[in-house]
Amino acid sequence: MSAVADYVVVGAGSAGCALAYRLVMAGHRVDLIEFGGTDYGPFIQMPAALSYPMNMSRYDWGFSSEPEPGLGGRRLATPRGKVLGGSSSINGMVFVRGHAKDFDFWRDSGATGWGYGDVLPYFKRMETWHGGSGDADDGGYRGHDGPMHVTRGPRQNPLFDAFITAGQQAGYPVTADYNGARQEGFGAMEATIWKGRRWSTANAYLRPALKTGKLRLIKGLAHKVIISDKRATGVEIRTSGGVKTIAAGIEVILSASSINTPKLLMLSGIGPAAHLAEMGIPVIADRPGVGENLQDHLEIYMQYQAIQPVTLYKHWNLWGKGTIGARWLFTGTGLGASNQFESCGFIRSRPGVDYPDIQYHFLPLAVRYDGRASALGHGFQAHVGPMRSKSRGNIRLNSPDPAAAPAIRFNYMSHDEDWQDFRACVRLTREIFGQPAFAPFRGAEIQPGADAQSDPQIDAFIREHAESAYHPCGSARMGAVSDPMAVVDPELRVIGVRGLRVADSSIFPRITNGNLNAPSIMTGEKAADHLLGRGMLAAENLAPQMPANWQNAQR
């Protein structure tokens, strides 16, 4: 490769790996900058070990929020992948595209060309779907020859099907594919797992791209984008050999995450002018939207004791974990080959909500996301939380030092509707677990606990126990050039600077329904076609199936 690549991409994560792959497959030379190290090793590659990498400084940036007033001043962990594959290498591997109406909202709020019909071809291009037996099963909504393998767990534990049946008994639909025609309902959860292994973007995109010889992977900490005469010309990084500049022949693309991308923009002189001046950074483009519009999903764990020993608790000991690990290591099969999120649900909180605003992850174990058991004995739980909070936060620099973590303020639970929605989550979940399907398994409610019935009691539980679902986004949002709070235009070009784009979850105008890995990868896929300038994939006119009576009925 020559000394200067065509494109310099910062961040070998969900979007960055997909973007780099498409660029090199089109014949371009790409330099991909990543501060994190290798993703080899069982803690990342074994799906059941998911709680480990997001709590290891080797793989995680270790961010946390500022004290959150709405949550009693607690600081919430904000993991982001510091490793090849980025957060796709440390996440829960759950694959959710989002609802069609999420993307239509993007389009209608100024992100022209990002409606559901526009993004669906990119969701299809990126995936090989293993949920059905062929094209006839998916109604044209799914892809069959893309780099990302999307699978479903075996649902051998009886609790997985009990959760789906209980949802049906409570009056909700069963959906054959929440990533297809209808999101609303209960059904099998999908995951980025293939042949018993985490199928991150490092496995799906990065390694095939490296084999072309056109991708150069550079280890270093990005300091700032080098901008000359309002044009990005490269990226300054710190490596083990010192500070150097990686030049870009055509463009620079930031795919560094919804936390690090706004940080890099501000370090480069792009952001709110007053804040940059406070940090002593010369202003190149006064974009007040940089770092604003920060969003996330909060969730609580509704936990119950199990009166039959069918949960994963029987493996929650050194011998059990060792046996599972050994089987996975030698055969790639068994409980180690699943993230244990094998059934799920998407429902509406009340009449008048036109598409789901509550998501469920069901787990046949009562345990925290960080792997600490909350119940000494058999139990099960549902992760549940509202999808479209109106609370908004921001990201600011703590220091002009590129090695310093930024200040992250989500302003969780700062809108009255957040409390209403979370109370609905608690009460609707209790109703689901109270159905006959759970009668053979259901014991006492562990948390919130039977005593938490009134609004103030439920609110107190939420304030003390709500946790991030680790879906930060929106901090460099996409919109019309005329929008003073937009950071990038609908072709992902940073407004006010030439030759610089953003491609990651920070561009989301509003958070999508569900986990963010799939729409982040889609963003990288679509960004590549914007960069290549050879036209976008043809829009598709498949519409979602919507409930006919949503104005008057909750289910």
Residue positions annotated with a catalytic role? 471
Q: Is the peptide bond before 448 cis (omega within 30 degrees of 0)?
A: yes
DSSP alpha helix (H) spans, 42-112: 42-45, 100-108
* HSE value, Cβ hemisphere, 13 Å, CA-based, for 151: 20
CB 256 within 8 A of CB 504: yes
Tokens of residue 254, six digits: 């930031």
CA 142 – CA 502 distance, rounded (Å): 26
CA 533 – CA 326 distance, rounded (Å): 49
Angle between helices 116-126 and 517-532 (to 10 degrees): 100
Q: How many CB atoms lie within 10 A of CB 431?
A: 13
Tokens of residue 145, six digits: 């020859």
Cα 17 from chain centroid (whole Å):
15
Of 379, 373, 366, give the one whose Cα is nearest residue 441: 379
CA 517 – CA 190 distance, rounded (Å): 12
Residue 419 to residues 389, 424, 430, 462, 533, Cα–Cα distance (Å): 10, 9, 17, 9, 45
CB 387 within 8 A of CB 511: yes
